[in-house]
Structure 1
Amino acid sequence: MEPTISFFSGFGRQDILFMAEAAWRTLLISTISIAIGTILGTIFGWLLYEGRIWATLFLAPVLDAFRSVPLIIQLVLFYNFVPIIGLSLDAFQSGLVILTIYTASLVANVARGGIESVGKPMRRAARSLGMSYWQDLRYVVLPIGTRAVFPSWVGVALGVLKDSALVSVLGYVELLRASQILMTRTQEPLLIISIAGAFYFALSYPISRYSAKLEKRWSQ
């Protein structure tokens, strides 16, 4: 009688390392997209606040579209559209582009709210002291507006960190995709999902704690 061949194996040390590497991939794509998206979103928010005609007619609808359409649809459409126009982007690059634009669309509203939180009397006072428009933005609007909207920005950053799991639909092996692979092989979904949740917590908790300490320091 021939021995039974098993296609499944137990969860081992190498699987933990595999998930740790996937967690690093999650952190990598999230950090880059949040950093670049925050810079772009701040610029977009400023343009929307200024009320330029082209920003109102073109930029605002585009940002609304990225905020409104589910992220997974954006990822799939972009990944399949890129080869049509002759570009060659892998899953990481495609996911990074969409996550960055998605982040920028969310941050744009946050940034505009931060600028609007600085009262016009304060800005007029700054101009009366001889500050230029750009000095007013740098020394008055940026410090005050940042403190006002920092909690909202942290919420956006944490949301993007978790939403990066959707890049798995493109084949990018981040934490969720790695968990799916291991669940198929080991048939231990509860254990693997618990470990994945612990990794997500380990990535998110330091951001929450540091932001809370920073807000407390600013309030003193």
Structure 2
Amino acid sequence: MSNSASFFTDFQFSDLMFLGEAAGRTLGISIVSITIGTILGCVFGWALQASRWFAQATIGTILDVFRSVPLIIQLILFYNFFPIIGWKMGPFAAGAFVLSIYTAALVANVVRGGIDAVGTPMRRAARSLGMSYWQDLRYVVWPIGLRAVFPSWVGVALSVIKDSALVSVLGYLELLRASQILITRTQEPFIILACAGAFYFALSYPLSKYSKKLEEGWAS
């Protein structure tokens, strides 16, 4: 029939802008999650190293749950659990909350490994020079240990940027969700997924490149 409506349209420049806006939302939730998760991870990692038995039995057990349970299950469970306790959270807030704890769980082990990487003789030498425990951490352990595990932290950060796509199950309009909407409308999955992949690369590559420059600067 000539009067029948067309439900599909070709991929247009406005669709590319739509993906760009969604990429901005992906970047936003990733920055929030990585920042909060890294800060919490540093605190948790220090606690796990400083008080091995007690912290491992409490904080370590909780973090193991977040590391072991698939992220998509965590997102769905927490998003539906918040309203039950009277705490209403939108998709962005709920997604950022879960991603932050998930990031903290990964960073905690990285930080603990960095602290352990600083040899006991070096720490004893710092204390013999009159440094307090906190001065030892600030001037010896953190600069050396965190520098050693920086590549591992970059790997975690890049992983979180990609894992943020799972927040789409909560209805948050990030890059993957926007791609699914456009694929349904245009029926051109190759073009749209190629554009989405390019946006993910554009979000991840600067961090990877900058981290490599920092490592080269530290090595020189």
Shorter-chain TM range is over 0.9
The DSSP-based 3-state class of the residue aligned with 1:130 is coil
Output the aligned Cα RMSD. Answer: 0.9
The DSSP-based 3-state class of the residue aligned with 1:4 is coil
The size of the alignment, in residue pairs, is 220
Whole-Å Cα distance in 1 between the matches of residues 54 and 139 of structure 2?
A: 27
Alignment partner, residue 135 of structure 1: 135
Residue 143 of structure 1 aligns with an amino acid whose one-letter code is: P
After TM superposition, the structure 1 = structure 2 runs for residues 9-20 of structure 1, keeping only pairs within 5 Å, are 9-20=9-20
Query: Are residue 77 (structure 1) and residue 52 (structure 2) matched?
Result: no
Alignment partner, residue 90 of structure 1: 90
Alignment deviations for residues 177-197 of structure 1 (CA, whole Å, 9 cap, x no partner): 000000001111000000000
The DSSP-based 3-state class of the residue aligned with 2:172 is coil
TM-score normalised per structure 2: 0.98
Alignment partner, residue 208 of structure 1: 208
Alignment partner, residue 118 of structure 1: 118
Alignment partner, residue 65 of structure 2: 65
Query: Are residue 44 (structure 1) and residue 82 (structure 2) matched?
Result: no
Query: Are residue 146 (structure 1) and residue 146 (structure 2) matched?
Result: yes
Alignment deviations for residues 164-218 of structure 1 (CA, whole Å, 9 cap, x no partner): 0000000000000000000001111000000000000001111111111111111
Alignment partner, residue 195 of structure 1: 195
Residue 137 of structure 2 aligns with an amino acid whose one-letter code is: L
Residue 101 of structure 1 aligns with an amino acid whose one-letter code is: I
Alignment partner, residue 170 of structure 1: 170
Whole-Å Cα distance in 1 between the matches of residues 60 and 155 of structure 2?
A: 21
Alignment partner, residue 180 of structure 2: 180
The DSSP-based 3-state class of the residue aligned with 2:9 is coil
Alignment partner, residue 156 of structure 1: 156
- Deviation of 1:56 after TM superposition, in Å, equals 2.0
- Deviation of 1:13 after TM superposition, in Å, equals 1.4
Whole-Å Cα distance in 2 between the matches of residues 166 and 113 of structure 1?
A: 28
- Deviation of 1:58 after TM superposition, in Å, equals 1.2
Whole-Å Cα distance in 1 between the matches of residues 57 and 134 of structure 2?
A: 25
- Deviation of 1:106 after TM superposition, in Å, equals 0.1
Whole-Å Cα distance in 2 between the matches of residues 133 and 50 of structure 1?
A: 11
TM-score normalised per structure 1: 0.98
Residue 125 of structure 2 aligns with an amino acid whose one-letter code is: A
List alignment gaps of at least 5 residues for structure 1. Answer: none
- Deviation of 1:50 after TM superposition, in Å, equals 1.1
- Deviation of 1:123 after TM superposition, in Å, equals 0.6
Work out the percentage of aligned pairs sharing the same amino acid: 68
Alignment deviations for residues 56-91 of structure 1 (CA, whole Å, 9 cap, x no partner): 211111000000000000000000111100011000
- Deviation of 1:2 after TM superposition, in Å, equals 5.0
Whole-Å Cα distance in 1 between the matches of residues 104 and 18 of structure 2?
A: 31
Alignment partner, residue 105 of structure 2: 105
